[in-house]
Structure formats: C-alpha cells, structure tokens
Amino acid sequence: MRYLGLLIALCLWPLEAVAEDFFQLKGHGGPIKGIAVSPDGSRILTASFDNALGLWVNRQPQWLEGHDAAVNAVAFVDEARAVSAGDDFAVRQWDLATGQSSVLGHHLGKVLSLAVSPDRQYVVSASWDSRLGVWSLTGAAPRFIQVGANVNDVAFAQQGRVLFVASADGRIRVFDFDRGTLEQLFLSNGFGVNTLVLNEAAGWLAFGAVDGVTKIVSLDSAEVIKDITLERRPVLAMDMSRDGGMLAVGDGEGYILLLNRVDWSIASDIKATHRGPIWALAFAADGQNIHAGGLDDAMFSWPLSDPRDAPRMVAEDRDFLNGNDRASNGERQFQRKCSICHTLTGDSARRAGPTLKDLFGRPAGTVPDYTYSKTLQDAEIVWNGQTIDALFDLGPDVYIAGSKMPVQRIARAEDRADLIAYLRLYSDIEDQ
C-alpha cells in the first residue's frame, strides 16, 4: 500500500518538489478541531478546544485569543484575514497582521463550519441553531438562511451563486445564496451528513455521514459515482488536495483514508490514532502532507509518501507511555512497533514473541521460556547492532525467511539506530 501511495504521489507531484517530513505543531492546551492552510501555503491556522487559534509560521505559533469556548472552524479569507467560529456561537474575523479580531455576529447554537465566498466578500457559517449565517466582510448587514435542521457543513458552488448544505437530518440541500431560498433537496442519506467536499471542475460531491456512509456523487444528478463506505463511523472530516488529485476522509475511529480521485483507489489508509476521532483534515498547499487534528493537543502532519512510518497521535503514546511525552525516539519506536509482542523483562510473558531482554550477544532462538519456529532455532544468527539493524532494514521476511516474525520494516536508519540504542539499555551482555 505504501508503495502504491508513493507511486501515485510520484505521478502527481512536480518532480522538483521537496518532500516534507512528518511534523507536529505543539502548544495548544486541548484537542484540535479545525485546520486551515493559507492561500500561499506558508501558514497554518489551528482551532482548538482551548478557545484559541494557533497561527503557525515555520512551526512557531502565535496565539489568537478571543473566543469564549472551543473553536470548531477556521478559514483563511486571504493572506491578511481569517474567520473562525465555535461553541460560543460567535463568528469572528481576524486581522492576521495584528492578531486582533472582531465579532461578525452570533448564532443561537454552536457553529460547526465556515465557508468563504469565491469573491471573498462573505463568510457563511453552519450552525446547530438550524440556520446558516451570511456575514459580510465588507460591512454589509448580516442575514440568516433557515435550513430547518442542525447544519454541519456548507460549501459554495457555481461561482458563489449557490450553497450546498449538509445537515443532521441526513439531507444535503441546495440554497440560492443571494435570495436565501431552497433550490433543491439534493439528496437524503437517512443519517446525519457531517461533512462535504465539492469538486465542480470534475463534477462531483463527496460526503461523509454519522452512519459511516462515504460516497462520491454526481453534482448534476446526485447519482452515486463511488461508494467508499467502510465500517467506520462516524465520518467527521474531509479535505481535497488543491490540485483535486486526492481526497482525505477522517472518521471517529481514528483512520485517515486517502483516495486517489482519478479512479477512487485507496492510496493510503492511516490508523492515525489508537483511540478517538479525526476531527480536522487539511492538505498542505503542495498536496505532499496531510494535516490532522483529533484528541491530541498537537496537530499531526504526515507525508503522503510514507505516512505509515511516522508517529501516531497521543492516545497511543499516552496509553503506552503513561503520559511520559519526553520518551526518546528509541523508546517510542519500541512501544509503537514492538511492545505489543515483546517484553523487556526476564520473562516472555506469553507475548507473541520472546523477551528482548539481554538480546545483545544472544544466539537467535535461545530464550528458554519461548517456543520458536524451527527456522529461527536453526538460524545461525547472533543478535547485535548489525544483525538487528539488518532484520528491520530488510524485514524479517527477507532476513530470516520462514520465521514467525511479522513482516515489518523500519525505513529510516535513524529510527533503527535509536531503537537499537534503546534495546541495548536492557542488555547486560556487551555487544561486540
């Protein structure tokens, strides 16, 4: 799967592009619910449960304070301005040069999503007061559009003439933007529609729902083009890369599904966190990374080229490391990739694999309380820095073909070195 993703990525990306690595944006005091990338791609805005927005330049935050409750949605208007909204029912406009904001107005319920009009004159807010708010960015009076059900998401279409509106009653409706009138009941899903993405040039709309339904439908007929529903619910976040080449879908079970929109094949399926939802997704401007927010206080960004070999969200680290986020990379490698099958204590504790205590200098297949495969018992390997490195550089399937070890490689030499250094801490015998 990883190689398929890489292949697709190589076909889609400009050759001169420099792949960005995995990174995190750390500093918020609560989970992240919204993410936006600036038009020129140089800045990221994060919206958090801690009531603040983070404006990130070169991974350094500037905190934008003003909301009185969790911030759910954030969008850039242009390079100089942004808008945000959240559980305090307020829609705010930000001057990004000064960090100052003003309230455009209030809903009577929490606000879940924002859409900026193509001409950048308006922002539309989707609220659980069953209305859309239409806020002028040029000083005109605000107005509301009655939808008739809690509104989860909204998107502009037809050069800003219409709005596609996703609601908790399972409907996607089309409203005339200027008149505020209902034009069409576009489709009915039965369960609430949480998120939608439009690609007008390609003629489709993608939506994700509470019951896990994820579909791509024709913008003309609402006919299903592709049903990508998996047994994962609810679907909470979606984004499309700027070139329209990739669609990302995030769900309540912590997966991020990356679809190649040429044939809707799965480019990658990342289990981004052990526990908890993916609330926010945004592609980097160049489409090389996918940014995600969930229960973690940090925004995570995975390179599409190799998303599987990077860290996962905290739920996992916290579970395994008991809140110790100062763990070394080696410890994290071990916890994430080995600890489910191996202990570092004297006994193998009925795990799938033998204890890795005192591994260095030990001939393969010799822990007394463990039943090895014949392959490993017969292997003439002594475990040391080089052999462990080779095991995960080549993969157990290549290095000791026929062993019970699962197929697993650790692509980065530094990760292997850090892991080996960590394992060495649990060996009394000196390595040669």
Task: Report the nearest approach of ligand HEC to the CB of residue 424 (Å).
Answer: 11
Tokens of 320: 């395994």
Our measurement of the distance from residue 13's CA atom to the centroid of its chain's CA atoms, rounded to an integer in Å, reads: 20
Tokens of 325: 């986020």
**DSSP string of 113-127, one letter each residue:** EEEE-TTSSEEEEEE
Task: Report the nearest approach of ligand HEC to the CB of residue 1 (Å).
Answer: 18
- Residue (26 or 409) nearer to ligand HEC, CB: 409
- Residue (224 or 340) nearer to ligand HEC, CB: 340
Q: What is the DSSP letter of 141?
A: P
- Residue (176 or 309) nearer to ligand HEC, CB: 309
Contact 416, 393 (CB under 8 A): yes
Sheet containing 32-37: order of strands: 32-37, 43-48, 52-57, 60-65
- Residue (279 or 422) nearer to ligand HEC, CB: 422
- Residue (110 or 332) nearer to ligand HEC, CB: 332
Task: Report the nearest approach of ligand HEC to the CB of residue 362 (Å).
Answer: 6
- Residue (237 or 359) nearer to ligand HEC, CB: 359
- Residue (282 or 400) nearer to ligand HEC, CB: 400
Helix (H) / strand (E) element for 71: namely strand 71-76
Per-position b or e across 347-361, b if 16+ CB within 10 A of its CB: ebeebebbbbbebbe
Task: Report the nearest approach of ligand HEC to the CB of residue 275 (Å).
Answer: 19
Task: Report the nearest approach of ligand HEC to the CB of residue 334 (Å).
Answer: 6
Tokens of 79: 């390079």
Task: Report the nearest approach of ligand HEC to the CB of residue 432 (Å).
Answer: 16
For 309, list phi and psi in degrees, rounded to 5.
-90, 5
Our measurement of the distance from residue 109's CA atom to the centroid of its chain's CA atoms, rounded to an integer in Å, reads: 27
Sheet containing 278-283: order of strands: 23-25, 299-303, 289-294, 278-283
Tokens of 14: 């400009």
Task: Report the nearest approach of ligand HEC to the CB of residue 417 (Å).
Answer: 12
Tell me how far apart the alpha carbons of residues 163 and 118 are, in angstroms, rounded to a whole number. Answer: 12
Give residues in contact with ligand HEC (CB under 6 A): 337-338, 340-342, 352-354, 356, 359, 364-365, 367, 372-373, 375-376, 383, 388, 392, 403-406
